[in-house]
A = this chain, B = another copy of it.
Amino acid sequence: MTKNKITSLFKIKYPIIQGGMIWCSGWELASAVSNAGGLGLIGSGSMYPEILEQHIRKCKAATDKPFGVNIPLLYPQTDDHIEIIIHEGVKIVFTSAGNPKKYTAYLKEKGITVVHVIANKKFALKAVEAGVDAIVAEGFEAGGHNGFEETTTMVLIPTINEITNIPLIAAGGIASGKAMYAAMALGADGVQIGSRFAATHEASGHDDFKQAIVDANEGSTKLTLRQIVPVRLIKNEFFEQVEQAERDGATKEDLYKLLGRGRAKLGMFEGNTKEGELEIGQVSGMIDSIISVNQLVEEIVAEFNLASKIMNGISL
């Protein structure tokens, strides 16, 4: 591809970033994506510090291409994670779910490229002010944690594009080269793809979770826990318990108690697809196979180029 802001920033072949996902994106997925020409991210959110260290080391051994680590800023071990990342010489960090002002300057000082994930204008501007190198704008259709405004990718990307010209990565609802092309037409310089990469051989989620992604149809996921921290889940028994509790007027404390500890691990890593928390995007309804990262990246590239050919020269 003609070099663009994202391929230049990360020194990668394609502006395709694999979303950092808890329980799904370890060194195997991240290195496979980087080797295929995209940017792989290790999702540190589900890792103890020493586990993260192992994943970084294995990733370095598995690829000589750039890769990064995603750090959701809502866990107590964040400081430890950041020290490991610096010590291990990781060059790219994606932060999410927190204040971009907290770590950006420190990471930049250490020569690290910093990207922050946002879902609204306020945090986009905060991230730019904090000095990040790029932002990921993630729409309502995305899996996992999500913004309170519920702004969809179709509306969010042009909205953010209007207020800043910082390199912009679109996320939410993107699982194909066609959607990638559309996102870039909306103003994005690249895309972050989560759900589709969760259903690859190299993803570290349980096979039964991957199968649940394949089995998902339209309407199979829904945003829930809107009161405490909105999260998009597959509608399973656990989801129904949460919804029922909300209908019964549960307090935030009740909801935290119901959520408990380890629900996400139970669902996504241990494969208890009934009682676990299954974070995935709406686009799971369009995913019908578990394939290799290489095949997926090749398909996305081919679809993108086909979309470009179909749209070539169209004018009103």
Q: Which residues of A contact B (CB under 8 A)?
A: 1-2, 14, 120-121, 139-141, 148-156, 158-159, 162, 172-174, 176-179, 181-187, 218-219, 222-223, 247-249, 282-283, 285-286, 300-301, 304-305, 307-308, 310-316
Contacts and interface: CB of A to CB of B under 8 A. Distances in A.
Contacts of A156: 218
A140 to B, nearest CB: 6
A222 B150 contact: yes
A280 B226 CA distance: 22
A19 to B, nearest CB: 15
A201 B10 CA distance: 47
Each complex incorporates copies of this chain amounting to 2
A218 B316 CA distance: 29
A139 B154 contact: yes
A155 B308 contact: no
Nearest to A181: B185
Contacts of A301: 316
A186 to B, nearest CB: 5
Contacts of A148: 219
A156 to B, nearest CB: 8
11 contacts: A2-B314, A141-B152, A141-B155, A151-B218, A154-B182, A155-B283, A159-B285, A159-B286, A178-B185, A304-B315, A304-B316
Contacts of A176: 158
Contacts of A14: 316
Nearest to A173: B154
B178 A1 contact: no
Given A150-B222, A152-B139, A248-B249, A315 B308 contact: yes
The 4 closest A-B pairs by CB, nearest first: A149-B219, A154-B173, A182-B182, A152-B152
A282 B149 CA distance: 9
